[in-house]
Amino acid sequence: MKICILGVGKMGGALAAGIARGSGRDFGTQCQNPEGREPSGTIGKGNVAKLVLCDHSHAKAAALARKIGARVAKTAKEAVDGADAIIIAVKPDATSALLEEIRKDLGETLIISVVAGLPMSYFKKRVPRSCRVALIMSNLAVQIGKGTTMYFAESHIDAREIEALLAPTGVLIRARKEEDIDFAMLTGSGMAFFLAAIEGMAKAGEKHGLTYAQALTLAAKAADGASALVLEKEISPLDLEKMVATEKGITLHGLRILRKANVRHNFHLAAHAVIKEAKRRRQFCETKLRPFEPQAQIGRKKNR
């Protein structure tokens, strides 16, 4: 199977690194994944050699390809030639021209878009009817196989194909409706919220005498352990909080400060804000896209 990734910025590069982790496993294993469990199927043995990267910065694509053992193409048309699946990871205002460039080479290719804000209809208008289209939203942890990806695919598309391809990147959740994919901001943007908390806690540890590295490990592991308990023990966060913050215990001294600052509600407001903005961008994307700039097109040489 040949997988092509067009655009190796933050998300495209992260997905490339994550998919490359699947080398040496059996492609096509069935993935029963109705509620976001980790899928079991991955791309096939030796598939890294069939992972092709392309970016408007050839040097960037080449450097990443060397790092993960993938191939690199100089142009988008070269990259998609014979591809079974194409991951579109360019900027929104570069997408239309890119699709126009490769349209004649698509056939029955599986098109997977990582482009924030662009709805299914946007792609259906710009690719052949024979193409199968899916939308995904991931977080940066996909690069180490610890990510979470929400995806939407039309009902006639076999979810196992998408899940097998993305299995090395982490957990997958299928959206029931296209608009539900905007809820992926809970994990995409949500990582930044938790990173802010980790940083604040680490700074406190450093202030009291730990090295920053030690304090950072303790704070990050607190977040890691909390999420593991929620997911594996199937106990609500509130009940787990009560288990940690025992009556007259030390933890309550810290929780009182957080409660006074209404931190729980502010997390709610932050999550609400990013979901609302994602919905707004998707709804109005086609009227708000800036004109495409030719020099930004993937695989095209800059004008001399």
204: CATH: 1.10.3730.10
Residues 216-243: pLDDT tens digits?
999 999 999 999 999 998 899 999 999 9
Helix axis angle for 190-207 and 263-288, nearest 10°, is 140
Question: What percent of the chain lies above the pLDDT cut of 90?
Answer: 74
Structure tokens of 246?
Answer: 């025992």
Name the domain boundary from 161, 182, 203: 182
Query: Is the same domain home to 165 and 216?
Result: no
Does a structural domain hold residue 36? yes
Q: Is 52 helix (H, G, I), strand (E, B) or coil?
A: strand
Query: Is the same domain home to 240 and 162?
Result: no
Local confidence band at 287 (pLDDT 50, 70, 90 cut-offs): low
Query: Is the same domain home to 52 and 123?
Result: yes
Does a structural domain hold residue 303? no
Residue 18 near residue 145, CB atoms below 8 Å: yes
Does a structural domain hold residue 203? yes
How many domains does the chain fold into? 2
Local confidence band at 206 (pLDDT 50, 70, 90 cut-offs): very high
pLDDT of res. 38: 43
Query: Is the same domain home to 236 and 111?
Result: no
Local confidence band at 128 (pLDDT 50, 70, 90 cut-offs): very high
Q: Is 7 helix (H, G, I), strand (E, B) or coil?
A: coil
Query: Is the same domain home to 167 and 217?
Result: no
Structure tokens of 106?
Answer: 């698509």
Task: Assign residue 167 the CATH number of its domain.
Answer: 3.40.50.720
Q: Which domain holds residue 240?
A: 189-261
Query: Is the same domain home to 9 and 116?
Result: yes
Does a structural domain hold residue 266? no
Residue 136 has pLDDT above 50, yes or no: yes
Query: Is the same domain home to 157 and 17?
Result: yes
Query: Is the same domain home to 46 and 81?
Result: yes
Distance, in Å, from the CA atom of 83 to the CA atom of 50, rounded to the nearest integer, reads 9
Query: Is the same domain home to 51 and 75?
Result: yes
Query: Is the same domain home to 217 and 146?
Result: no
Does a structural domain hold residue 65? yes
How would you classify the pairing of strands 3-6 and 51-54?
Answer: parallel
pLDDT of res. 23: 54
Query: Is the same domain home to 169 and 85?
Result: yes
How would you classify the pairing of strands 147-153 and 170-174?
Answer: parallel
Count other C-beta atoms under 10 Å from residue 210's C-beta: 15
Structure tokens of 194?
Answer: 């938790």
Does a structural domain hold residue 78? yes
Model confidence, pTM: 0.83
Name the domain boundary from 153, 182, 211: 182
Query: Is the same domain home to 64 and 172?
Result: yes
Backbone angles phi, psi at 153, to 5 degrees: -135, 150
Residue 22 near residue 168, CB atoms below 8 Å: yes
Average pLDDT, the chain: 86
Residue 37 has pLDDT above 50, yes or no: no
Give Cα separations from 193 to 87, 186, 187, 259, 277 (angstroms): 27, 10, 10, 17, 16
